[in-house]
A and B are shown apart, each in its own frame.
Chain A
Amino acid sequence: MIRLTGGRVVDPASGRDELADLLVEDGRIVDSATTRDETVIDASGYVVAPGFVDLHCHLREPGFEDAETIASGTRAAAAGGFTTLCALADTQPTTDTGSNVESLLTQARRDAVVRVLPVGTTTKQRQSEELSEMADMAYAGAVAFSDSDRAVRKTSLMRHALEYSLLVEKPIASHAEDAELVDGGVMHEGALATVLGLKGVPRQAEEIAVGRDLALAQLTGGRLHLAHLSTAAAVSQVRDAKARGIRVTAEVSPHHLVLSDEVVSLKMYDTNARTSPPLRSPTDAAALLAGLKDGTIDCVVSDHSPRRWIDKACEFDQALPGISSLETAFGLLMRLVHAGVLSLSELLSALTYRAARAWDLPYGTLSAGAPADVVVLDPDQAWVVDPDRFFSKGRNTPLAGQTLRGTVLLTLANGNIVYRNGL
């Protein structure tokens, strides 16, 4: 049994925010303990919250173990306060059958320190040709379907995917970007891209794809989930769609929310700032924040995309997109809290309860009986990002050397201490 004493317990699911003890027994949160044998951890002065629920993360295993493994990725998650990871299917082989879902879960049971939930593909091999076996994958434990970093190209197939998913009542997550309009672009289209001589991706690439997917969600009644929104226009499209009763949920990544395309030139041509969709303007970031605050955007995800060194130590056009973000997500997001534009409880809600609710997951809460996924946070402690000390194999972050305020001191996953740093 573990007793966390004297912390500020924040549980957005129930609205609870008080100084209290938190008890954990047999992997669950409990009101009172039955055993006497207890480990006491003094959390006074700190925040005790549910472990973060991440609907969007790339663990790279199987197939790309030199970029990340389930072992390294889940340890990075623990250090970043995440206790539930929904792993996307851009692996080799892709997670596109029931047996691949089972095999991923088996691997996770062996290697993972936090919960891993498979996201199956929408189409076989992510090829936009035929639907994947969604029912089979759902029975095996898939929580949603997504072709990961690709949109389903064929509009008719996306329609059928949304229809067919009604059978299992799981969301179809979409990387909403019009590939034709992206057309080889590598950063946000704007003055900075022109100056740098890099091909831009206009905001409309997202607007067109979001518009298509929302129209299809309306047509079919299927559950649409929009991955990592990046533009102001997409936020208003989703806001309107929700007002009209379309079944849509949406997420945003810490980097799209806090950073902008200027990061690409802070260090000239910083390939670590190359993401897909690209980091956009401060105006877009402000609109994303407004969308998160008014509930248009349901949750914050890590969009953790670890990359090999060589995939970033190259020409900008050649670099693979993505940021290794599990370990910096909380500290980066805390910039919004310290700037006074987002409250701590709003942030924690977006990282826990609201994420779990978007996909009907029974996690992200501290209520009695729930799995004991708990983090102890110090919202004020400053630290300097040093990628060489990451648990993740991906050292790709544009934040190296920067100071963040907000750390994770302790992480419990299913009642086990999986990360402990100075508490």
Chain B
Amino acid sequence: MSIEVASRPTLLAPAAPAAPLQTRTKPRRHVLDLDDFSVQEVEAVLQTTAAMKDVLQRPIKKVPTLRGKTLVTLFYESSTRTRVAFELAAKALGADTVSVAAQSSSVTKGESLIDTIRTLQALGADFVVMRHHQAGAPYVVAEELSASVINAGDGWHAHPTQALLDLFTIRERLGRIDGLRVAIIGDILHSRVARSNLWGLGLMGANVVLCGPPTLLPASDFCDGLPWTFERTYRLDEAIEGADVIMLLRMQLERQSGGLFPSLREYVRTYALTEERLARAKPGVVIMHPGPMNEGVEIDPRVARSTQSVIETQVTNGVAVRMALLYLLSGLPA
């Protein structure tokens, strides 16, 4: 049938190479996902992150770049590292921060998302960092708000700042991203970290292999129409063979009650990254985890603390990456 409603959604088209950030006449306003980032733009973020990391190593970890600006963190889901990293990043750049936890605000009085957003708008927020348990919520907000919206995780959909910090950490450790084999292991289907990393790693030229129980992997036709492909396997040994990076995801117990796998015990037996399994991987393989970890479930505590693990570095880099994003969003030159 030859009915075209309109052009294909940008989501399914390869990202058009945008002009490098330095020469963009209009700076980016929101960070909702990595699907609209160009290679050049990711480069600009990564380079700026390196500069921000230097700032964080100074005796006085503060610059006045964003003085007078206000950043609001609006979290409908609990978070430690992401929220704190954003607040530290904003403070290091001289901005004021306000933190709204949905449990303590008017949200519990039945205020809708759109009302909450209009209130924040009226109160004069410049940046809204938002986490929500439902996919797409930041898009509703971005539509309504003149401030910059940064998605700090929306349902199963996206967690772009996590993916950027993962890219930065990988390159910091291994010197490149292009051509690396990256295994992502666990509950891929319900993971926003996995989705955003697929965009980021795919864009930067890595080969991604997804591994998990059949009920927790996207269907094999998932890549139809996407600008890149990935491997997909149920077997952990296949996934980690030859991998340069192993990224583990948190296994959530509610998936068991949802009938998606029989027991944590069996999951641990099949998918936990133990020292024994790690010994069969490439020497020097880098171990990552976005946190929070279930030690003893998806990862053996000794593996988490091994020299190959960069899990704590990820957290540290999280501050620098968010500083870089706030800086670039404020329209200052890269």
Contact = CB atoms under 8 A, between A and B. Distances in A.
B136 A260 contact: no
A285 B113 contact: no
Contacts of A266: 5-6, 9
Contacts of B3: 258, 282, 285, 335-336, 339, 341
B135 A316 contact: yes
With a 10 A CB-CB cut-off, give which of A190, A196, A258, A282 has the most chain B CB atoms: A196
Given A197-B195, A263-B5, A317-B155, A190 B136 contact: no
A263 B5 CA distance: 8
A289 B195 contact: no
Contacts of B158: 197
B5 A259 contact: yes
A192 interface: yes
A243 interface: no
Nearest to B136: A269
Contacts of B136: 196-198, 268-269, 315-316
B140 A315 contact: yes
A262 B226 CA distance: 14
Contact of A314 (B6, B140, B192): B140
Contacts of B225: 191
Interface in A323-352: 335-336, 339, 341
Contact of B12 (A192, A268, A314): A192
Contact of B140 (A191, A286, A313, A402): A313
A198 B190 CA distance: 9
Interface string B1-28: 1110110110110000000000000000
Nearest to B195: A197
Given A262-B9, A265-B9, A339-B2, A196 B135 contact: yes
Interface in A289-309: 289
B208 to A, nearest CB: 14
A286 B134 contact: no
A287 to B, nearest CB: 10
A197 B1 contact: no
Contact of B157 (A197, A259, A336, A402): A197
Nearest to A338: B3
B41 interface: no
Contact of B1 (A198, A285, A314): A285
A315 B134 contact: yes
Contacts of A195: 11-12, 35, 195, 222, 226
Contacts of A197: 135-136, 154-158, 192, 195
Contacts of A339: 1-3
A195 B188 CA distance: 12
A265 B158 CA distance: 15
Nearest to B132: A315
B6 A402 contact: yes
A92 interface: no
A318 interface: yes
Interface string B181-203: 00000000100100100000000
Contact of A198 (B6, B12, B132, B135): B135
Contacts of B51: none
Contacts of B35: 195
Contacts of B154: 197
Nearest to A189: B219
Given A191-B222, A266-B9, A268-B139, A196 B157 contact: yes
A423 interface: no
Contact of B135 (A190, A191, A313, A317): A317
Given A258-B3, A262-B5, A266-B9, A191 B226 contact: yes
A193 to B, nearest CB: 9
B114 interface: yes
Interface string A259-280: 1101101101100000000000
Nearest to A265: B9
Interface of A: 190-192, 194-199, 258-260, 262-263, 265-266, 268-269, 282, 285-286, 289, 310, 313-318, 335-336, 339, 341, 402
19 contacts: A190-B219, A191-B223, A191-B225, A191-B226, A195-B226, A197-B155, A197-B156, A198-B135, A198-B157, A199-B156, A262-B9, A268-B136, A282-B1, A313-B112, A315-B134, A315-B137, A317-B135, A339-B2, A402-B5
